[in-house]
Amino acid sequence: MEAARRQMIDQQVRASDVLDMRVLETFAVVPRERFVPEAYRAVAFADAPIPIGHGQVTLTPVLEGRILQALAPGRGERALEIGTGSGYFAACLAHLTGSVDSLEIHAELAAGAARTLGEQGIAGVSIETADALARDYEPAYEIVAVTGSLPAIERRLERALVVGGRMFAVIGSGPVMEACRVTRTGDDSWLREPLFETRIMPLVLPSAPTRFRF
């Protein structure tokens, strides 16, 4: 398992120009294999999406590395994740920042992620079953990570950022989508930067609220 983890880091993530040592160290210590269904643990480190139920899949290690490198989360920053999924990316954000609020549309996935985080002793993550786009946000986060694609930049998520905060989102609905970083530069100004082309599943909406904390 450790050899497979190291191969993922060196031959997939680092080889894709993810060179931030804090990101690579996070992948080395957060147990990715514990956040996938048991039937898929043998391929937990492959650079391919893994089914996690409800028609959802994980992000690939390379994409997760590129997202984290683009956002450059710092210790003491507060992160908002839209789309908890398995809970692995929230665990990585918590390792880097110490504080993550994560919203998930599917109650069963939210409960499973919360359970895995608890079993692994990973603190600082609050998971809520909710429609992330059915609320308005106060500027409270340095980091916002959207793990499903959106047809267009969502202004209410941009407004969740404090000045200097960064958001990652994948925009588009066709076979090729654009990953972008949005940085809040002032009370009413944002800098939007295209990063690379990719393709991920669309963000799923809506559901009813339930909260778990570990």
| Per-residue confidence (pLDDT) for residue 156, from 0 to 100 | 94
Q: Where residue 187 sits, what CATH number does that domain have?
A: 3.40.50.150
| Per-residue confidence (pLDDT) for residue 174, from 0 to 100 | 80
| Per-residue confidence (pLDDT) for residue 173, from 0 to 100 | 87
Model pTM score:
0.94
Q: Which two tokens stand for residue 104?
A: 């998930």
Number of domains into which the chain is organized: 1
* Cα(73)–Cα(79) distance, integer angstroms: 8
| Per-residue confidence (pLDDT) for residue 118, from 0 to 100 | 98
Residue 170's nearest CA partner among 59, 94, 72 is: 59
Task: Report phi then psi at 123, rounded to 5.
Answer: -100, 170
Residue 210's nearest CA partner among 99, 120, 126 is: 126
Block means of pLDDT (10 residues each) for the chain, length 214 residues?
96 97 98 97 96 96 98 98 98 98 97 98 97 94 97 95 98 92 98 97 68 52
| Per-residue confidence (pLDDT) for residue 209, from 0 to 100 | 46
Task: Report phi then psi at 142, rounded to 5.
Answer: -80, -25
Residue 214's nearest CA partner among 64, 84, 94 is: 94
Domain that holds residue 207: 2-213
* Cα(118)–Cα(120) distance, integer angstroms: 5
Strand partners, 161: 141
